[in-house]
């Protein structure tokens, strides 16, 4: 099938370029309205079928013992693991607790490791997220912050979008505007293909509420520098 201008309403010669330039057109992951009308088991069966065809087109011998189970393994991995964050049913539930300690300073959780995938080439993005928030009278279990990060990482992503999505989800869950998020990551679409730069990383940030204040951000940066 040839790409045409109706594929994305973008001229053909620009389709690959946009992907390489990592343009994100929205803070929402682009999903069809009927994205979850099909159950996971059927998705796995169909992905396995189509991935088997991809392997066949590439010339791989699917009768080989090592390759026979690969289409199903890839399909289950896509639906149940690396892209499980696409399904809103997997969004972590968050329970807030009273801030009985009357802790009024910022809380920082840093170096939350994540694995995501670039939506332009479906290769890994590997990095760490640093989060800070100031309680408005409620607190949350620390593991919930990690789970929110992982939920948005487990989908085809653009780093800028993921940064905003995490910040917005934390504001909603914590019921406060005082949230900061920094993401530092290595993109294998840059390291393993194209320009093949294996040393560069990409850093994005989203500052809300009190963290729009330069002094508050400086305090956050000081926490991140601690060893």
Active site residues: 118-121, 159, 187, 189
Sign of CA dihedral 35, 40, 44, 45: negative
Sign of CA dihedral 160, 162, 168, 174: negative
Q: How far is CA 183 from CA 12, 70, 96, 162, 207, in A?
A: 32, 32, 25, 9, 12
SS3 96: strand
d(CA 81, CA 74): 10
Q: Which residues contact 55 (CB under 8 A, 6 or more apart)?
A: 62, 67, 70, 71
Cα dihedral 87/128/140/134 (nearest 10) = -120
Strands 156-157 and 106-118: parallel
d(CA 5, CA 15): 9
């Amino acid at each position: 099938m040839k790409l045409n201008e109706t594929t994305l309403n973008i001229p053909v010669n620009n389709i690959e370029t946009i992907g390489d330039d990592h343009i994100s057109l929205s803070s929402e992951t682009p999903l069809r309205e009927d994205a979850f009308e099909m159950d996971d088991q059927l998705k796995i069966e169909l992905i396995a079928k189509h991935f088997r065809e991809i392997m066949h087109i590439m010339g791989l011998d699917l009768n080989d013992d090592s390759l026979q189970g690969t289409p199903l393994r890839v399909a289950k991995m896509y639906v149940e693991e690396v892209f499980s964050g696409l399904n809103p049913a997997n969004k972590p539930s968050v329970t807030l607790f009273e801030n009985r300690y009357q802790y009024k300073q910022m809380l920082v959780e840093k170096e939350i490791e994540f694995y995501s995938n670039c939506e332009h080439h479906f290769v890994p993005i590997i990095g760490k997220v640093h989060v800070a928030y100031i309680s408005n009278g409620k607190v949350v279990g620390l593991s919930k912050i990690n789970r929110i990060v992982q939920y948005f990482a487990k989908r085809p992503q653009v780093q800028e979008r993921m940064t905003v999505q995490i910040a917005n989800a934390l504001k909603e869950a914590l019921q406060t505007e005082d949230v900061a998020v920094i993401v530092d990551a290595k993109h294998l679409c840059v390291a393993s293909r194209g320009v093949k730069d294996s040393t560069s990383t990409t850093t994005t940030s989203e500052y809300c509420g009190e963290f729009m204040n330069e002094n508050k951000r400086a305090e956050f940066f000081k926490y991140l520098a601690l060893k």
